[in-house]
Structure 1
Amino acid sequence: MNYSYIIIDDDPESVLKTKAITANFSELHFIAEAYNYADALNLIIEHSPKLIFIEIDPVHKKSKLSLNLIDTLYRYLTVIPKIIITTSKKDLAYEAIQYEVTDYLIKPLKKIDFKKLILKLKKIHWDDEIFIIQSPHHEENSISTLSIETSHKKKNHILCIKSYGDHRYIDSKDICYLQADNNSTDIHLNNGEVVTAFKTLKHFEAVLSTPFVRIHNSFIINRNYIARIHTGNSVCYIKNTTIKLPFSKSYKKNIDFIISDFSNENYIEV
């Protein structure tokens, strides 16, 4: 398995050191480098790399390099590259984990770090091949962890919420919407039941595709349960309920996509 990658770091010397180490691994294929936020975003959108090595504590603050770049990627990309943090600061690790990064490497980087990374990536790829996606991080003090089983031949996913030996299976077609609650997510079902999973909403955005669409920092909606969209009031109404979910300006493009998607179906406008 080969992995194309982009290096994002405002320190040219650090970029050269990273490239020197990655050159030892035939699995890693260098695409480009970026020294600031804007260039990094453009390169990622243009080349769609599988990996991103990023410094989140830059030497020059004008570069605007930070974890916020990951948030921006979710606005534009359906599939987010694997994010590998490369920094000298250990105290940013907890915050990075909340962004579901694949790895956190401490500078000065070592060859063994990349060997471990490649082994981890191959394991993730193998898990995908047997149709199981496992959460790469275990969250301490949580009462459950989440795994998602998905067959590439099926449109629907089965979510398995695990808690102390209890396995709760949820068919994705029964989910009306998902709501963020700090570092957990409330899953609202079509029968009115709410199930809590101890993963962030960002995690669900990464693993759930259409008909699930992010419309707000706090909400992902199943477009199949939308009864009405009011663009003036910036709200979506859920079928057969009085529930209305707000959508934000930053996700307006996703709302436009939903409206366009409806118009492509058996649709009559009156």
Structure 2
Amino acid sequence: MSINFMRLLFINIESALLELMMGVCNNYSFFENCEFSQNTTLQDGCNAILKNFPEIIFVQVSEIATIYKIDEIRKLSQKDIKVIAIAKTREYAYDALKCGFTDYLILDDDFELELRKVLLKLQNSAESTLKAFYLKSYKEYRKVITSDILYLKADGNTTDIITINDSCLTAFKTLKSFENFLPENFIRIHNSYIINKEQITKVNFGELKCAVGLKNNEHVIPFSRSYSKNWKQLEENFKHLSLAN
């Protein structure tokens, strides 16, 4: 299985510009795992929004009607879609912001630099609020809700994902790749384990282990000294939250 964290849609992008954008996106590990939709016309792009619900859209605008149309479809979707306008003038860019677009890019000499800034903002925002991602196997996609994950375990170059219903999903990605994008409630406490802090049921810092999961079906996860900085921070958090007996 491979991982698809986000779906990106490109609308009305000139071919040379699209090639540049794809090259820049591939510089960032987060976007390496995204599913990129084909560059579409405005009409096909609107259909794709309502059919596939992409999380991020880049649309090149040369008239106000394009902005209004995308805004209309975005609202109809009732999804939190990040829309970035690409325009030759600031007038269209500002019109896009007024219509609720997330950001804009101006086609000038600073375009690539500004694109990198936008991508980093999108990456940081997604990493801090990521609620779900998809595991892809051939043409099948399986949704994984991050709050349902108990822990992740390294198995060579693959990672096992254990969820609250005790299912085990295997992704052909290293544990490190998950460490780089999962939200802040996930913490690596061992060479082989990342745990969901919100799923911890008990922890023993003297014995360097914790339990995650349901009370009648707990999984015991060890800490390792190589990640002592992480679990010591966890210990400090527990001290602030605990009531002394």
TM-score, reference length from structure 1: 0.45
In terms of Rg, which structure is larger?
2
Question: Relative contact order (alpha carbons < 8 A, sep ≥ 6): 1 or 2 greater?
Answer: 2
